[in-house]
Amino acid sequence: MTYYIAKTLDDVSFADAVDRVRQALAAHGFGVLTEIDVKATLRKKLDVEFRPYLILGACNPPLAYRALSAEDKIGTMLPCNVIVQEPRPGTIEVAAIDPVASMMAVDNPALKPLAETVREKLRAVIDAL
């Protein structure tokens, strides 16, 4: 089992890919709570160059509420991270965490159907790109 859902996009700029991801997330009930520009952070903290790489922390509030109600420490695994990166010039990859894989570490059967629902929503986001 892989721990992510991914898709490669060609003929789109990094900025356009990020916009598409945000729109697809919103269309499937997710908001972006956090944004980490890895390239800028590594430049600032380590004075190194890195490829364009953005981590978006996505949250579907009703599903997050249900998960937090079922397992009070599940916040350690939230929000759902979605990355946009340019591994090679002109090639953009978008990947989202597979919540079913990450929830396997939590021994709470109430989370399984929630994780499956979130996985299907994130798969629909990736498929829509």
Q: What is the dihedral of CA 103, 108, 25, 49, to 10 degrees?
A: -30
| pLDDT tens track for 47-57 | 999 999 999 99
| pLDDT, tens only, 91-106 | 999 999 999 999 988 9
> How many Cβ atoms from other residues are within 10 Å of residue 46's Cβ?
9
Residues 32 and 78: their CA atoms lie apart, in Å, by 12
Q: Tell me the sheet residues that pair with 82.
A: 56, 96
Phi, psi of 108 (to 5 degrees): -145, 105
Dump the DSSP string for 86-125: EEETTEEEEEEE-HHHHHTTS--TTHHHHHHHHHHHHHHH
Show the domains of the chain with their CATH numbers.
Answer: 4-124 (3.30.310.70)
The pTM is what? 0.95
For the stretch 12-45, pLDDT in tens is 999 999 999 999 999 999 999 999 999 999 999 9
